[in-house]
Amino acid sequence: MLTAVFWVLAVVAVAAGIAVFTVDSMARATVALAVSFVAVGTALLLIDAGYLGVITILMMLMEMGIMAVFMIMYMMNPGGLMPMSMLHNKRGALAISIGAFVLLAAGALLTPWPQRRGEPPSDVTRALGEAVMGSKMLVMMSVSAVLFATMVSALVLATGRGRYDGDEAPAAEDAGGGA
């Protein structure tokens, strides 16, 4: 059952990733990207990589929230629903992507991968944190709380003023008879 769910999530992740470049609006591309990475994060949870799965899901949802705020604040089409093409320089992009795929596939297939020695630690998440952060784990945990508070503050400040930074919307001026 877990294998079937993993493969369904893999297909969803790839299909949503393809949708990012085939849909006709920024809003739809943003949602497709979020779906793709949530599927990847859920697949990581299924293979007992809980820390990486949760971090992937949380990071992508926060990133999509920030992206939505900036879309509303700065885009000419804040809803992002006007049709547009997400593909530019199709031939060049196709050549580069095929070249990158061949290079990465060759590297994965031709690299002499090492064999596992020993057993994994009892607490894989702790071992990963110590390997990545070393003795700076407490500092990084404190910094992450500060960064999260900064993102929340930026969202609150951005939504309080709105898109026009305190000025009235152009539609409201036009409705007043052009005074």
**Residue-wise DSSP of 113-166:** PPPP-S---S-HHHHHHHHHHGGGHHHHHHHHHHHHHHHHHHHHHHHHHTTTTT
pLDDT at 116: 84
C-alpha pair distances (Å), 98 with each of 29, 167, 172: 22, 48, 50
- The pTM (predicted TM-score) of the whole model is 0.55
Look at residue 117 in the predicted model and tell me its pLDDT.
86
pLDDT tens-digit profile, the chain (179 residues): 889 999 999 999 999 999 988 887 777 888 899 999 999 999 999 988 888 888 889 888 888 888 877 776 776 665 556 666 666 788 898 899 999 999 999 999 999 988 888 888 888 878 887 887 777 777 877 888 888 888 888 877 776 555 555 555 555 555 555 54
Q: Spell out the domain ranges in the chain.
A: 1-86, 123-167
